[in-house]
Structure 1
């Protein structure tokens, strides 16, 4: 868990209220205190509202909206898979101490959602994605979890079984999908305009616990809304350079339905069984090669949790290339990367897709 504590904004909080805030939890598996990623002192207003954001998309947008007016705790670091995240005792402590909990919803992070919903905290709890995108895309449940089902076979189900009670036989995906129950696709942030709605929900939620800053939050949300509208138009311009018959996606994660729906792509399939902790059988690899060949696409797309040797092997045997850069699937990349904000993530992913499918991407013109 990462703790980001902001310094009270100049002119908005009295300086006498500043105190040194200790990082509650380390970035790694232990619970050691850590400094912020930028190396600055971790200080916060003594009476600043305490906000917990469960995942990196919500964390990043909350930071951009609240700036330094709240003490913000982010449970997941960038690049961590929320589907397989293991809850720490310190996560529960952060939840119990919060004034506001902003979590994803739509079963995006099953363990975190169960923890939030089962908590006895009096904090306001907002399922941000569900509030921002009340009519989600529906799709077959897919298995990120590699064991998460076991964590939800008891009292933390909250419908998670419906979203994860499947096994992906690594080769029987098409037949499994045909019989699978449809569930909401949680990856709403891959449509740029959805992030404007997410920002609005976050700003309104922050205003409920910190009404003195309501106008400030609204102003920042409006700024983000305008920026995401510009990014949406920019993405459409870049996609227009891709030949229409090549606007097809084969990825290693069933996460780009919203991107495809918004920007005119067809999702030809997702290659399961290629994560860094999996060792698919020769038969499973043969099935994946056949799946790629059947899709008839010029390139396939990996993500940063994909086993690079496996996907290169599948691509070679199928006679296609792998996109030069991996896609940022679960949210922004690490600080200092080319996708360290939600806005930059959208730009990076767009250029990766466009360039791999025969188009040209003008990164310099992106409204960042």
Structure 2
């Protein structure tokens, strides 16, 4: 959440003048100091982002030129999140609502459609051509598009363009902020590929709690051996599902499997015990960035932290990610 405050000082020579001016100053501070996310008092456009990933990207692109409200907090699960009254108030005040789409955040989407919201609604994730998954006998789009840093760049460009349309007088700042972030992700994309390639080829197999890493695996050369539950974390695995996954892990020779930060790890621990493999010591960030101060407290850092955990747990050799200044402005090669 972006908060803007102003401080002022006055030093008049006469007491009466001081009283009048101090009174006016206090009144002025009352008006300006309440300029916080969603207030619109400073005439900045009000932008609402649903997921923590979108909030992080939008904050970096919009900078001080927007008032930004993030609905979900770090660690919250968008699949099962139930909106609260303040969410409805934020949506009603918004000029622009950025949401992931592909039904990642069903509760918030339902609220947007029912609250009489007048703001422009834009599904950032839906600018990506989706991978599919099976759900109750039908094919559905996978919403976890951000796992591929190349998709992250496309999302950044979409957010940038929406902000320019909303506030064209700030076009230069939006473009500059977006370009810096794009350049960082271009480096990150190549770095992840290099890290995954250090894992022995027969161990590049990923087992996670829920099916949130299809885009990551496809982009960087991993095979999804299995997941405990499907796309939505609302699913409840049966004892047979646990056994089948443990058997698949034994057959594949997977050295480690992974819990996730937004999901109770109890069942995936059971799978690890059943399969006789270790549970990676570092949980993966799947549907949310981490809390402030954690290893994954931004979109870039969550991808770095996930890669570190995967590489170290599957037998690779991890090298720290460092951003090189003055990156050449090139587009990602098509895979």
TM-score (norm 1): 0.75
Whether the aligned pair in 2 keeps the contact of 1:79 and 1:333 (CA below 8 Å) is yes
- The answer to whether residue 4 in structure 2 is matched with residue 7 in structure 1 is yes
TM-score (norm 2): 0.82
Q: 1:75 aligns with which of 67, 71, 76?
A: 71
Alignment of 1:79-90 (within 5 A): 79-90=75-86
Corresponding residue pairs, total: 302
Provide the residue aligned with 1:31 in structure 2.
none
Deviation at 1:189, TM superposition (A): 0.6
Whether the aligned pair in 2 keeps the contact of 1:285 and 1:314 (CA below 8 Å) is yes
Provide the residue aligned with 1:49 in structure 2.
45
Q: 2:190 aligns with which of 233, 240, 263?
A: 233
Provide the residue aligned with 1:35 in structure 2.
none
Provide the residue aligned with 2:119 in structure 1.
123
Q: 1:138 aligns with which of 132, 138, 160?
A: 132
Whether the aligned pair in 1 keeps the contact of 2:229 and 2:237 (CA below 8 Å) is no
- The answer to whether residue 292 in structure 2 is matched with residue 335 in structure 1 is yes
Aligned partners of 2:122, 2:236: CA distance in 1, in Å? 38
Unaligned runs of 5+ in 1: 10-15, 26-42, 142-165, 167-179
- Greater C-alpha Rg: 2
Deviation at 1:24, TM superposition (A): 8.0
Provide the residue aligned with 1:60 in structure 2.
56
1:276-302 deviation per Cα after TM superposition (whole angstroms, max 9, x unaligned) = 999866555434422432443111111
- The answer to whether residue 34 in structure 2 is matched with residue 21 in structure 1 is yes
Deviation at 1:363, TM superposition (A): 1.9
Aligned partners of 1:366, 1:355: CA distance in 2, in Å? 21
Aligned partners of 2:311, 2:59: CA distance in 1, in Å? 29
Whether the aligned pair in 1 keeps the contact of 2:209 and 2:227 (CA below 8 Å) is yes
Whether the aligned pair in 1 keeps the contact of 2:258 and 2:280 (CA below 8 Å) is yes
Unaligned runs of 5+ in 2: 7-27, 326-335
1:63-91 deviation per Cα after TM superposition (whole angstroms, max 9, x unaligned) = 10111211111100011000000111211
Aligned partners of 2:242, 2:318: CA distance in 1, in Å? 32
Provide the residue aligned with 1:155 in structure 2.
none
- SS of the residue corresponding to residue 65 of structure 2 reads coil
1:161-207 deviation per Cα after TM superposition (whole angstroms, max 9, x unaligned) = xxxxx4xxxxxxxxxxxxx2111111011101111111111111111
